[in-house]
Each structure stands twice: as C-alpha cells, then as structure tokens.
Structure 1
Amino acid sequence: MRLVFAGTPAPAVPSLRALHASSHDIVTVVTRDDAPVGRKRVLTPSPVASVADELGLPLLKTRRLDDAATTAIERAHPDLGVIVAYGGLVREPLLSTPRHGWINLHFSQLPRWRGAAPVQHGLIAGDAEIAASVFRLVAELDAGDVFDEVVLPTPDGATAGEVLELLADRGATVLRAVVDAIADGSATARPQQGAPTFAPKLGDADGRLDWNGTRDEVLHRFRGVTPEPGAHTTLDGARVKVLRARAAAPDAPRLSPGRLAAHGRAVIVGTATEPVVLDTVQPAGRGPMVAGDWFRGLRQSEPVLGS
C-alpha cells in the first residue's frame, strides 16, 4: 500500500522505521515544524523529520493538518494514513482521504486514557499494566475500533520516558502487523469496551510533588512526570527539580511530610507513610547534583521540602 505517516517525537520513530522496512511504500511523512530546543532556542527538526531525511522519504512539515496539508497529502494518493504522536487532530476531509482511512498507535489500553498523555496519567494513577493499541481513527477523540494491542506489566520503578520507549518499540511491531492485515484484507477491529478515562496534556503544575501524599502516591507522580513536564518541589520558596527518586529501605525512619534527613548515605524525605530517597536533584540556577552533596550544603538544621 501507499502510506502517509504522521508523527513528531522520538516514540514515533520505531513505527516509521518498521513501516519503511516493510513491503509498503511511504509516500509522505508529515511532522510538526522545527521547534526551538535548548537554552539558545535553536530551531531543530523533530526526531521524525530527522529520520525521514535519513531514509530519503518525502517530508511535509506543518503545525496543523489544515487545508494546505490536506491538499498535499491528497496529491500523494495514499491508501492508508498512519499516525503516531503527531501532535494534531485529523479532521474531515483529510480523515477520509486515504482509501482505507487512518489508523493510530496509542500508548494505552483503550478506552482507558484517551488523550495526549496516556502513559503519564497511567503511571500517576498507579496502573499495574501498560499498553499500546492500534485503532481506527474517527472524529471522536481516540474512540475508534481497536485492531490489536499489546499489554505488559508496568515495569517496576520505570519513568514515563522509559515506558514510552518500551511501548514505542513493542507497538511498532503491532502496528506493522495491522498495516499488513489491512493490505491483505484480513484485518478485523472490535469496538472499545467500557467507560473511557481521559489523559489531557500535563503542565508544569502537574509536576509538583505533594509530600502530604503517601510514599506510593509521591513516587507514582514522580515517575509519571519524568522527564516531562518534570518533577519538582520547593525549599524556602526556591524551586528544586527532582531528577531521580525511589522508595527508601524498610529500615528508614518515618519523617513528617517534606522533612529532609540523612539515612546512612541516602537522603530521605518524609511522606504521609514511608519515606522516599532522593538520588539526584537540581536546585534553581544550578546543574544536576547528587542529592547527598546538595543536602550537606544546606544551611538548615531541619530542612522541609514544599516550604
């Protein structure tokens, strides 16, 4: 088949490579415009754009799938549209432009966590499983029939970035199989079952760690917002990023919420239940630091985070 592929961030790259290695022909790759990256805000191609250039694939950069993008895609005469984390909605008439419509690789077990940040919300909620689903794109958000899925136990201690990397690889295999099945006419899809939950994009405020929660609630949020939008707390009103954290050893003493203390070589912080270990932090205006070095440099006898 002639495919149009739409995607932008790194988790879309394994799917692009898998389809490029298949018997199908990628006639257009659609991705978001170059974006400013780093402190110097250098305009940088998306990961999908970079790989499309590497593979010599026709590339269309656009902020949204508007009339101009629709016209460009129509001229490629695609049989199927494939979208993986593009960052924009496909609406009519583009939705009906490919002969077989569009399919989407989504990083949850639908209908749970429809929306832009399914992995992040799943980890914050403490879900025991992670998943990737391939479904038919329809006008309603992430509501189409599901062709296939892969479901895995949530890796112990994994952050959202690590889970996305795993699901991107496993999901690409499922996606390629679905494309092959659509091509040979053997594909079947089932309606989504159950009440949907939703996963809107996270903002900076979602990364604030609430030490009044239980240890598990704190760690679930830390993992769900790492690396984006990033976990953070405050000390005397100054922002401190939390880059690495984990559960404390069973013999660690309980502390009041937010209270910092040394336990052996570890730096622990109190929650409503058991404490959390801080491994790596980044105080405002400084680079990442071993939490022990940061703690020893504090000029307070009983520092409390969240203050």
Structure 2
Amino acid sequence: MGQLTLQPASLKPWHTLGFEVKAQGIIDVFSEEDIHQVLSFARQHDLPVLPLGEGSNTIFAKDFAGIVMRVCLQGRRMEYGADGQLMVYGAAGENWHGFVRWALDQGAYGLENLSLIPGTVGASPIQNIGAYGVEVKDLIDWVRYIDIASGKVVQLKASDCVFGYRDSIFKQQLRDQIVITEVAFCLSSHFKPNLSYMGLHDSQAETALQLSDYIVKVREAKLPDPQNLGNVGSFFKNPIISEDHYQALKENFPNLVAYSVGEGDWKLAAGWLIDQCGFKGIRKGNVGVYKQQALVLVHFGEGYVEDLLSLAWDIQQQVWLRFSVRMEIEPRIYPQ
C-alpha cells in the first residue's frame, strides 16, 4: 500500500445519495493487510475510521472528520457439504447483486429473492438485508471482521450476530468498531422457490435464475437506479405495532396494509402510511419522495442533506399525528 498521506476529499461519488460532503481522507483497502495498515495509521494520528462499501445505506449528515475506508476486498469461493449443502464465501467488497448471480450460476440457491439489493457482501449482515420473504440472517453462517481498536480478527457465528428486523450487532453494540472482511453463507444445491411474498405469486418461475430475473424486473419498476437518481432504497423501516394498536387503526382505516408477524404483532407498510399522508411524489427543492414508491426519498442533484433530513422529519411527524406510529429511519446516519 505504501506510505499513507491524507488530504480532504469529496464523498459525493462514494454514497448513493450523492450529496456534496467531505472526509478528512479517503483510502481504498484491498486486503486485510491494507486494513491493518490504515488502522495503525489512524491510531497514530488519533483519527476515527469509517468503513464504507458502496454507500447505498449511508447518510452523511455533514463532513466526516476522519478516514473513510472504502472496503474493496474481492473474492468468492464455494465448498461442497453433505446432503446438498453448499458453503459460499464472499469478500466484503464484492457487489451484492453480482455475488448473488454468481452463486446462482454455481448452482447455489437461497439468495435469489435478494437479487438487485444495492450494496456489498460486507454490508449485508449489518443491515440484515431482506426482501420478498427472505432475510439474509437465515442464510449467513458466520461473519469475519477486524476490530478497529485492537486489530484483532474475529469470526462471529450467525447465532451471535443478534440479528433482528433490519438490525444486527454490527449496527448496535459493534457500530463503528469493526471492519467486516468476509461473510460465509450456507446455501443449497436444491432449488426450493420461496414465493411466500404476495408479489411473487404470479412469477411462474421454474428456476432460480428465472425467479431472480423476475425480482429484478419488479425492483426496477418500483425503485429508482441510484446512478440516475440519488437514493438509499427504503428510507424507513416498516413499523411493527401491537394487536390492540392494529385493531384500532383497522377500524379507522379499513384499507390499512399490514402483515401479521406472530405473537400478536403486526408489520405495517411504511410506504402506505407515507402515501396516506400525501407525501408520495412530492418535491421540495432538490429532494423529494419517489413517485413510484413512497418509501424512497430521493435527491435530484445539487441539493443539501439538511433538506432531505427535514423532509424525513416532516414525514415522521405527519405519520405520528395521523396514525400514532413512529417511523424509524433505516439507513445509518453519520455522524450520529
């Protein structure tokens, strides 16, 4: 990697919202050795380090006074187990959708419902990404990371990752303390389509690739390409409420969109709540709410992150006033 030097650099190309913010320095790392070198340099200069993949789930609320470490580690491999079990390994910097399609090409099934989710393999466990009836926590075997403070390498079993709905130990207790370098997935050589999500009932997919292609078309029809319109995908989590709250809302709003998640709790469609408050398709200056999907906040270019966060606050306020439901922002905000 050579001798490290820092100079202020723009983060605009490195996060999908595309706001003009800066870091004290941006360094690309391509190996664990690179990571150790950057961490040592940061400790010597008393600088914080922020690992970053493709920036598809990150909001920079202002300039970052430290080193942004762009995790570019590449590599993927597969091992055969018993009874059709396949262990598939992906380096943290691998593009997620590219990794999913590669796994399918190898005859390793299970990730197809997660096609076209933006980001990297290393980011997938942080958010516990999920779509169309599948969450990545159910497929991860372990996560390998480097502790930023000590440089220690840890391999954490999935059962210790404290996975929850769009949540994990990496987003909570270990937030900003580790750099994920590799993720292992337990997949199968036997394709069993998961069509439990209502929108997939008419897919008619007979193979995993066909199902992946169908999901890609659905996502492209609903969600904007970050390369063309700045966004971080779903801006809010789908809120979960109690049975009593659900029944009260259902009485007042018969068309309420909700799904039972067990133990008497219900998950509400955040996009429906936002739409009912009149925000779908709205534009305020250079930010707005996507016209095809109210769950997606967008940046049209040349705007300010303060305007986007102000719009998000307005949405949270109006949803609370109308439904008594708290909307939680899904992407990570820096600095918090």
Q: Which entry has the higher C-alpha Rg, 1 or 2?
A: 1
* TM-score calculated relative to the size of structure 1: 0.33
Q: When the two structures are superposed, what TM-score results if normalisation uses the length of structure 2?
A: 0.31
